[in-house]
Amino acid sequence: MEFLANEFVEIYRTEKGKKQFCYTPAICVLDSGRYIFSGDVGGNDATELPGYDAIPKNPANGRVEFGQIFTSDDKGKTWQRRAVRNFCHARPFAVGNTVYLLGHSGDLVIYKSEDAGETWDNGTFLTQNEEWHQSACAYHMEDGVITLVMETVKHREGDHQSGWYVANLCPVVMRARLSDDLTKKESWTFSNKVCFRDVLDVNESDLFGVPFYTPMEKQHLYKDEAGSDRYFCQNPGWLETNVVKITDEKHYWCDKTGKTFHLFMRAHTAGSGFCCLMKAVVSEENGKEIITVMPQENPSGKKVIFLPMPGGQMRFHILYDEKTKLYWLLSTQCTDSMTRIELLSSERYNIPCDERDRLQLSFSKNMVDWCFAGIVAKGDSEKQSRHYACMAIDGDDLVIVSRSGDKDAFSAHNGNMATFHRVKDFRSLVY
Q: What is the pLDDT of residues 204-221, one digit of tens each?
A: 888 888 888 875 544 455
Give pLDDT, residue 223: 55
Cα 109 from chain centre = 17
The reply to whether 212 falls in a domain is: yes
Is the pLDDT at 391 greater than 50? The verdict is yes
Q: Is 94 buried (19+), middle (13-18) or exposed (0-12) by CB count in 10 A? A: buried
The reply to whether 234 falls in a domain is: yes
Is the pLDDT at 416 greater than 60? The verdict is yes
pLDDT 10s digits, 81-106: 999 999 999 999 999 999 999 999 99
The whole-chain average pLDDT of the chain stands at 94
Give pLDDT, residue 218: 47
Phi/psi region, residue 104 (left: phi>0; alpha: psi -120 to 50; beta: rest), is beta
Strands 260-268 and 274-285, sheet pairing:
antiparallel
Mean per-residue pLDDT, 157-176:
82
The reply to whether 2 falls in a domain is: no
Domain hosting residue 246, numbered range: 9-429
Is the pLDDT at 279 greater than 60? The verdict is yes
The reply to whether 1 falls in a domain is: no
- H-run or E-run covering 84: strand 80-86
Neighbour count for residue 348 (Cβ, 10 Å)? 21
CATH number of the domain at 357, please. Answer: 2.120.10.10
| Domains contained in the chain, number | 1
The reply to whether 26 falls in a domain is: yes
More confident residue, 228 or 195: 195
The reply to whether 4 falls in a domain is: no
More confident residue, 139 or 159: 139
Q: Tell me how far apart the alpha carbons of residues 131 and 60 are, in angstroms, rounded to a whole number.
A: 11
Is the pLDDT at 151 greater than 50? The verdict is yes
The reply to whether 3 falls in a domain is: no
**21-29: strand order across its sheet:** 21-29, 35-42, 66-72, 80-86
Q: Tell me how far apart the alpha carbons of residues 65 and 368 are, in angstroms, rounded to a whole number.
A: 36
What is the reported pTM? 0.96
pLDDT 10s digits, 4-51: 999 999 999 999 999 999 999 999 999 999 999 999 999 999 999 999
Mean per-residue pLDDT, 164-192:
96
Give pLDDT, residue 114: 98
Give pLDDT, residue 70: 98
Q: Which residues pair with 347 in a beta bridge?
A: none
The reply to whether 67 falls in a domain is: yes
Cα 391 from chain centre = 11
Give pLDDT, residue 205: 81
Q: Tell me how far apart the alpha carbons of residues 104 and 88 are, in angstroms, rounded to a whole number.
A: 6
Burial 28-47 (b: 16+ CB within 10 A, else e): bbbeeebbbbbbbbbbeebe
pLDDT 10s digits, 40-58: 999 999 999 999 999 999 9
Longest distance between any two alpha carbons in the chain, whole Å? 64
Q: Which of 64-78, 184-198, 203-217, 365-379 has the lowest mean pLDDT?
A: 203-217
Q: Tell me how far apart the alpha carbons of residues 216 and 234 are, in angstroms, rounded to a whole number.
A: 6
Q: Which of 193-207, 325-339, 379-393 has the lowest mean pLDDT?
A: 193-207
Q: Tell me how far apart the alpha carbons of residues 149 and 92 are, in angstroms, rounded to a whole number.
A: 13
Give pLDDT, residue 221: 55
Radius of gyration of the chain measured on its C-alpha atoms: 21
Nearest CA-CA partner of 323 in 166, 167, 430: 430
